[in-house]
Amino acid sequence: MPVKNRFAELLPEITEWRRDIHENPEILFETHRTSALVAEKLRAFGCDEVVEGIGRTGVVGVIKGKSDNSGKTIGLRADMDALPILEATGLDYASKTPGAMHACGHDGHTAMLLGAAKYLSETRNFDGTVVVIFQPAEEGGGGGREMCEDGMMDRWSIDEVYGMHNWPGKPVGSFAIRPGAFFAATDQFEITVKGKGGHAAKPQETIDTTVMASHLVLALQTIVSRNADPVHNMVVSVTSFETESKAFNVIPETVTLKGTVRTMSKEMRDMAEKRLPEIAAGVATTFGGTADVTYFKGYPVMVNHEEQTEFAASVATKVSGACEEAPLVMGGEDFAFMLEERPGAYILVGNGDTASVHHPEYNFNDEAIPAGCSWWAEIVEQRLAG
């Protein structure tokens, strides 16, 4: 089952939608224009129901098949939000919003799901119901969690849910997926160490927080090297080191460290949350200071369900001829919240030889649109075959 001919026909139109969204990026939950555009198109396609304001600015569209003997409902999800990055692509349709750009391809995800929704509304060649889910605030805002907390899964009786992300470096239109843990849990921490400030020429009269914090940066790495089971994937990164003084001759009273913890299991996630403040307190005490730790739990591990992953891979193989096993990804993905509520799977579609995501020169590859649209449509038509 290769790429559907209808999506080849629709490619110029879907590309136009994608570039319009790219030109008008919106951050987190502020996807007002994008959400309105999505809702307008879903109504124009003839969706049976279109609801706005789910998860603040999320949009849900409902498409009923020619029959409903199965009684099943499949959810398809795309994210809509952009990133706070200054675009450097030089494209004719580059961002018109200073400091915001679609650097992760959510413009492409939204356009592809709109294309699939148009096709499914036209054909309705399935037995059951499709719910198309357009989510805000994937980039750190937890929009997926908020849509779930708004009761989306129960309100539309969603049985399974499927998502997709473009992947630079993979051939255009190719697919990759893996069962089980796929994307990492993404937690953050902030540690403020306090000592006694003073003149840099008289360190003996101070409790030096720069030395204290420097030792702490190194000590935190033992969470991975000495506390974690070596067979588990884990990352602890200190990404910010800020003193309260910018002077050359002042030992600061406080230093603040910030960073991230990435884990692939609940066991390792809980261990890191426990060990990080213990190590911070121990190091601070060693130097005569104190440490105040705040640990922010972010997205959970995104876990693909076995049966649905196997099915998603089989569909991808029919669309593109093959589906590779994807590597573990230490980045986060808030589709994890939806997969905690319902069985489903998340797949990668190749974006070709482009800049990586979150890069100012990144751009979604429109040549991937037919494959992405076809995968979503085939998920429905095969899972809800009459």
Q: In the structure, how many helices (H) and strands (E) does the chain have?
A: 11, 16
Cβ partners under 8 Å of residue 151, min gap 6: none
Strand partners, 238: 259
Say if residue 106 carries a ligand binding annotation: yes
Task: Tell me the two tokens of residue 78.
Answer: 């795309």
Query: Residue 96 and residue 23: Cα distance in Å, rounded?
Result: 6
Cβ contact 81:27 at 8 Å? yes
**Residue 91, amino acid:** L
Q: Which long-range contacts (CB under 8 A, 24 or more apart) does 285-291 make?
A: 286/215, 287/195, 287/207, 287/208, 287/211, 287/212, 287/215, 288/195, 288/196, 288/207, 289/193, 289/194, 289/195, 289/196, 289/207, 289/209, 289/212, 290/193, 290/194, 291/191, 291/192, 291/193, 291/194, 291/216
Say if residue 139 carries a ligand binding annotation: yes
Q: Which long-range contacts (CB under 8 A, 24 or more apart) does 36-40 make?
A: 38/80, 38/110, 38/114, 38/134
Cβ contact 349:175 at 8 Å? yes
Say if residue 358 carries a ligand binding annotation: yes
DSSP state for residue 126 in the 8-state scheme: S
Closest by CA position to 288, among listed 236, 215, 219, 189: 215
Say if residue 148 carries a ligand binding annotation: no
Helix spans in the chain (H): 5-23, 32-45, 106-123, 143-149, 152-155, 209-220, 222, 266-286, 306-320, 335-341, 369-383
- Are β-strands 234-243 and 73-79 bridged in parallel, bridged antiparallel, or unpaired? unpaired
Say if residue 104 carries a ligand binding annotation: yes
Binding site for Mn(2+): residue ranges? 104, 106, 139, 165, 358
Residues comprising the binding site?
104, 106, 139, 165, 358
